[in-house]
Amino acid sequence: MVKVDPWADIQGKVDYDKLIKEFGTEKIDAKLMARLERHAKHKGMSLHHLLRRGIFFSHRDLNWLLDQYEKGHKFYLYTGRGPSGDVHLGHMMPWMFTKWLQEVFDVELWFQLTDDEKFYHKQELQLAEANRLAYENALDVIALGFDPKKTKIFVDTDFAATMYPLAAQVANVFADSGNHYCANPMFDRGLALAGRQEWARRRIADAGAVVL
């Protein structure tokens, strides 16, 4: 049995039908490719070569998405990169396809650079270096030619300055329960609850009551 490992040199024949079954996806069949090609032709484009050559061979819910799009509903694209080094072809291939999708369907792209995630995952990587790599990688993304008016590229640790006030507004809804610890999105729920219980015990003790 061949083990599919993205970090190793795979030897032998891969059973792609088995992978499709295990991952719960579907094959990109001729009918679906013809459907995508029709949309591409409306924009004066052809079917993407990575589809034609079978490099991308599986999908999940793409028929449903096209159904919604054809009914007039909008969608957006979301992808990203964990900046831990230089960009290589393995990163570029799905981004090239993403660009094609943006052009065919005229949709927004949100591209997330997770410098914080890579900082947590790689002990030898400093946060400042992960942030620097995020901006270096962003240049490679921009160079692909995404529509600048419809593309939002953001770095986690920088975007948090915008995201946190919004998260605080949402969390404030839960503060109505009286537990401002659990309302804070930055607090672990278990530790927040323990802190709340300790605070309650002290208030009861200060009032001269018996703490059980």
pLDDT, residue 173, reads: 61
Question: 196 and 182 in contact (C-beta within 8 Å)?
Answer: yes
Tell me whether strands 77-81 and 109-113 are parallel, antiparallel or unpaired.
parallel
Distance CA 143, CA 119 (A): 25
Tell me whether strands 58-59 and 26-27 are parallel, antiparallel or unpaired.
antiparallel
Could you read off the pLDDT of 155-182 as tens digits, one per residue? Answer: 999 988 777 777 677 666 655 555 555 5
Please tell me the pTM assigned to this model. Answer: 0.76
Could you read off the pLDDT of 97-150 as tens digits, one per residue? Answer: 999 999 999 999 999 999 999 998 888 999 999 999 999 999 999 999 999 999
